[in-house]
């Protein structure tokens, strides 16, 4: 499939004449070869004892080294004056196809009517041979003779004569095009005053990023003038349905773009947004011979410039984005091994924004290189089936992949070996894991839920919500939601611990801290019950003691949050002040727990003296016990965190 056929489907024939002439000249070589083979086959059938001519070199040179054509001479046989030729239908189909290609550029120009009639005649005659296997002497002569009628003789045309005449006209057409190069773009029939600077601007943008395609074919550019419009076409890559054509008229640009991948089409739309692209609604199109007959996306974008300088900037910017479309879908699919669909596209978009690209990463080993880096860090970091975003988080995985693409691009542009990129990737992943510490993300988030629960209880007791049924009910509802979120974090840790041994210690710590969250949620539930007319005997002293108890628990949760935050960055190289800050936070949790013990006993003495209602006494006693239990579980969690941090710093020393 010729890339020019895709451009033709967009209606821009004037861009195609140089490509069509080139294709036509190649078709001429194949036609002459087919006629030579046909004559050799007929000669062999009439004189089988004669040696067959060796035409393999000619076949290779013409790009038509097909098995059926090689066998055609040997399988020809005589039937009276006729030649039996089983491959005649294939030969006729090949000749018909090449005749169409050879005549195409001439039929698109003002060629004479006689030539049009001759082409149409021979196209119909060849089509009539689609099931014919008998080559008569008359048919052979009409196909292959090269005798021109002399003056006064009747005309006796042949396919061979037509091919020779078309070849002569093609040479004349090629000379009339007077093709030249502007910074690598094939151009013809331009207007010097305006077209050349615009083509140069486009090529300037293309060359700014074209090195990022490395050895991949593509980015060939053609430009010509068609009436009032300058036309610029870029072939992008090798897919026949992947084409870009720009029409520049005045200070307006109309860009027509086709792509078989809708997601890549959307990516390109986003890339051109910075240059003011206004897109039409893309349509699905099917064209015979393109993309194996499957649908592809086609859309048009318009750009309106205020002046010539802005127009040149738009042309340069548009061209600079094209390289990032090459093998885009292959890169996207490989990134899906490590992140989700949206994140994979985001990585490619950021790589394009930074003029990094993805081709170097593909060249350096792509997913294989990343899998090897993950494996090298061992089962404690990654287990089989782990994705990067599961270990590093979505944002961390995206940032890491962008940096890997940057490393790959820098190394490949400097012609450094892929092994160097692999080593740098492994070191980068190790540093990312050390900084990321996703297990501490879960600890910190869970600690935040505990603090939020404690703040709710403390606020309720400070404001007397034991007598406000609606406020207490709302608190109980919110507390239940917070506690479920905390439970979800524990389940995540347990799941990871089943796959990665290093998570087991963190999972146990979270389970302990979650006992505190459960106790605080129970406090909210009890307050809701107490507010339903079960607060008899609550005097100022009891309210004060319970409020102090809740405040002490809140203080413990705040210190727990602080301890987790400090612990995240601690290792053997940490400063002594950081270690001191961590230890101080855990001791504050211990002090809060001891304070809660004393406040609980004081509250119980007050309950015994003041609360006589059985239900009220049971509920307020349970409330106080749950508050003290929360402080107790926070202390156990603080000790577990100390053990974890101490083992971590010893390993890192």
Residues 70 and 90 in one domain: yes
Exposed e or buried b per residue across 384-405, where buried means at least 16 C-beta atoms within 10 angstroms of its C-beta = eebebbbbbeeebbbbbbbbbb
Q: Are residues 501 and 644 in the same domain?
A: yes
- Residue 652 pLDDT greater than 60, yes or no: no
Domain boundary among 305, 322, 339: 322
Express each pLDDT in 557-590 by its tens digit: 999 999 888 887 766 555 677 778 888 888 999 9
Q: pLDDT class for 294, splitting at 50, 70, 90?
A: low
Give the tens place of pLDDT for each residue, 467-498.
899 999 999 999 999 999 999 999 988 887 88
Does residue 439 contact residue 396 with C-beta atoms inside 8 Å?
no
Give the pLDDT confidence score for residue 353 in this predicted structure: 95
Model confidence at 175, pLDDT cuts 50, 70, 90, reads low
Structural domain harbouring 418: 329-435
- Please check the confidence at residue 65 and state whether its pLDDT lies above 80: no
**Do 222 and 243 reside in the same domain of the chain?**
yes
- On the question of pLDDT at 8 being above 60, the answer is no
What confidence score (pLDDT) does residue 335 get? 95
How many structural domains are present in the chain?
4
Rounded-to-integer distance, Cα 622 and Cα 38, Å: 104
More confident residue, 59 or 598: 598
Q: Higher pLDDT residue, 565 or 647?
A: 565
Residue 1 has pLDDT above 70, yes or no: no
Confidence class for position 12, pLDDT limits 50, 70, 90: low
Highest mean pLDDT among 92-101, 255-264, 637-646: 92-101
Judged against a pLDDT cut of 90, whether residue 619 lies above it is answered with yes
Confidence of residue 360 (pLDDT cuts 50, 70, 90): very high
CB 230 within 8 A of CB 248: yes
Question: What is the mean pLDDT of the segment spanning 505-509?
Answer: 88
Model confidence at 170, in pLDDT bands (50, 70, 90)? confident
For the residues of 124-180, what is the DSSP string, one character each? HHHHTTTT--EE-HHHHHHHH--PPPPTTSPP---HHHHHHHHHHHHHHHHHHH--E
Domain co-membership, 491 together with 638? yes
Residue-averaged pLDDT of the chain: 85
Q: What's the rounded Cα separation, in Å, for the pair 31 and 29?
A: 6
Give the helix/strand (H/E) hosting 556.
Answer: helix 540-568
**46, 135: one domain:** yes
pLDDT at 13 (0 to 100): 53
- How far, CA to CA in Å, does 643 sit from each of 89, 507, 624, 639, 649? 84, 14, 29, 6, 10
Beta bridge partners of 297: 259, 284
Task: Reply yes or no on whether the pLDDT at 512 is more than 80.
Answer: yes
39 and 110 share a domain? yes
Cα–Cα dist 223/503, whole Å: 61
What's the pLDDT at 6?
47
Residue 387 has pLDDT above 80, yes or no: yes
**Cβ(14)–Cβ(224) under 8 Å?**
yes
Same domain, 647 and 516: yes
**Alpha carbon distance 90, 466 (integer Å):** 95
Final residue of a structural domain among 406, 435, 464: 435
Q: Is 421 in a helix, a strand, or coil? A: helix
Is residue 446 located within the same domain as residue 594? yes
The stretch 377-402 carries a mean pLDDT of 80
Q: Quick one: DSSP state of residue 515?
A: H
Q: Could you report how far apart the first and last alpha carbons of the chain are, in Å?
A: 64
Of 29-38, 59-68, 161-170, 199-208, highest mean pLDDT = 199-208
Rg of the Cα trace of the chain? 40
Mean pLDDT confidence for 591-599: 93
CATH code, domain with 499 = 1.20.58.220
Q: Are residues 333 and 314 in the same domain?
A: no
Average pLDDT of the residues in 494-517: 85
Percentage above 90 pLDDT, the chain:
43
Instruction: Work out the pLDDT band at 151, boundaries 50, 70, 90.
Output: low
Whether residue 597 is predicted with pLDDT greater than 60 in this model: the reply is yes
Residues 192, 160 share a domain: no
Q: Give residue 573's pLDDT.
A: 53
Q: Residue 193: which pLDDT band, with cuts at 50, 70 and 90? A: confident
pLDDT of 314 higher than 80: yes
Final residue of a domain: which of 148, 177, 206? 177
Question: What's the pLDDT at 391?
Answer: 77
- Which ranges of 377-468 would DSSP assign to H, the alpha helix? 388-392, 394-413, 418-436, 438-462
pLDDT number for residue 311: 96
Q: What is the pLDDT at residue 523?
A: 95
The pLDDT, as a whole number, for residue 527 is: 94
* Same domain, yes or no: 473 and 593: yes
**Model confidence pLDDT, tens digit, residues 543-557:** 999 999 999 999 999
Do 468 and 556 reside in the same domain of the chain?
yes
Calculate ∠ Cα 296-302-304, nearest 5°.
165
pLDDT tens digits, one per residue of 452-467:
999 999 999 999 898 8
Position 285 pLDDT exceeds 90: no
Which residue, 168, 172, 177, 178, is CA-closest to 28?
168
The stretch 355-381 carries a mean pLDDT of 87
């Amino acid at each position: 499939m010729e890339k020019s056929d895709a451009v033709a489907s967009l209606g821009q024939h004037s861009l195609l004449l140089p490509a069509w002439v080139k294709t036509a000249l190649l078709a001429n070589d194949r036609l002459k070869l087919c006629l030579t083979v046909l004559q050799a086959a007929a000669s062999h059938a009439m004189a089988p004892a004669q040696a067959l001519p060796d035409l393999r070199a000619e076949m290779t040179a013409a790009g038509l080294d097909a098995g059926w054509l090689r066998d055609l001479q040997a399988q020809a046989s005589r039937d009276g004056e006729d030649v039996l030729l089983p491959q005649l239908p294939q030969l006729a189909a090949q000749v018909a196809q090449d005749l169409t290609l050879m005549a195409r550029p001439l039929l698109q120009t003002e060629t004479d009517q006689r030539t049009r009639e001759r082409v149409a005649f021979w196209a119909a005659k060849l089509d009539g041979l689609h099931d014919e296997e008998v080559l008569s002497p008359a048919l052979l002569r009409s196909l292959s003779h090269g005798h021109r009628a002399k003056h006064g003789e009747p005309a006796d045309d042949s396919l061979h004569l037509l091919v020779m005449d078309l070849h002569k006209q093609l040479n004349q057409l090629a000379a009339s095009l007077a093709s030249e190069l502007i910074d690598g773009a094939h151009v013809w029939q331009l207007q010097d005053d305006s077209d050349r600077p615009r083509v140069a601007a486009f090529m300037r943008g293309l060359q700014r990023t074209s090195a990022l395609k490395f050895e991949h074919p593509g980015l060939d550019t053609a430009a010509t003038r068609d009436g009032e419009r300058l036309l610029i076409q870029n072939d992008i890559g090798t897919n026949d349905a992947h084409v870009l054509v720009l029409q520049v008229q005045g200070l307006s640009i109309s860009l027509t773009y086709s792509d078989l991948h809708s997601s890549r089409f959307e990516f390109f739309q986003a890339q051109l947004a910075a240059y003011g692209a206004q897109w039409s609604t893309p349509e699905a199109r099917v064209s015979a011979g393109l993309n194996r007959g499957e649908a592809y996306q086609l859309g048009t974008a318009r750009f309106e410039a205020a002046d010539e300088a802005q127009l040149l900037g738009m042309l340069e910017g548009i061209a600079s984005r094209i390289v990032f479309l090459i093998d885009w879908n292959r890169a996207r699919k490989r990134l899906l091994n490590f992140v989700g669909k949206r994140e994979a596209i985001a990585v490619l978009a950021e790589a394009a924004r930074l003029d990094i690209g993805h081709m170097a990463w593909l060249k350096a080993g792509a997913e294989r290189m990343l899998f090897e880096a993950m494996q090298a860090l061992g089962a404690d970091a990654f287990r089989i089936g782990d994705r990067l975003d599961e270990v590093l988080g979505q944002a961390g995985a995206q940032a890491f992949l962008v940096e890997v693409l940057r490393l790959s691009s820098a190394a490949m542009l400097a012609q450094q070996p892929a092994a160097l990129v692999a080593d740098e990737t492994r070191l980068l992943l190790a540093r990312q894991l050390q900084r990321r510490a996703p297990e501490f993300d879960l600890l910190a988030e869970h600690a935040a839920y505990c603090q939020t629960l404690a703040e709710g209880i403390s606020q309720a007791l400070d404001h007397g919500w034991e007598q406000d049924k609606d406020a207490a009910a709302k608190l109980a509802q919110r507390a239940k939601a917070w506690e479920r979120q905390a439970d979800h974090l524990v389940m995540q840790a347990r799941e990871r611990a089943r796959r990665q041994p290093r998570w087991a210690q963190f999972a146990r710590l979270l389970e302990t801290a979650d006992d505190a969250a459960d106790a605080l949620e129970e406090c909210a539930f009890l307050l809701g019950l107490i507010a339903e007319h079960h607060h008899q005997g609550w005097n100022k002293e009891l309210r004060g003691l319970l409020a102090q108890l809740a405040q002490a628990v809140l203080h413990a949760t705040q210190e727990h949050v602080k301890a987790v935050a400090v612990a995240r960055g601690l290792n053997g190289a940490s400063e002594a002040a950081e270690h001191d800050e961590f230890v101080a936070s855990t001791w504050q949790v211990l002090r809060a727990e001891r304070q809660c013990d004393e406040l609980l006993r004081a509250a119980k003495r007050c309950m015994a003296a003041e609360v006589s209602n059985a239900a009220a006494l049971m509920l307020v006693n349970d409330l106080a016990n749950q508050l003290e239990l929360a402080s107790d579980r926070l202390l156990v969690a603080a000790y577990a965190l100390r053990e974890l941090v101490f083992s971590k710093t010893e390993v890192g020393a």
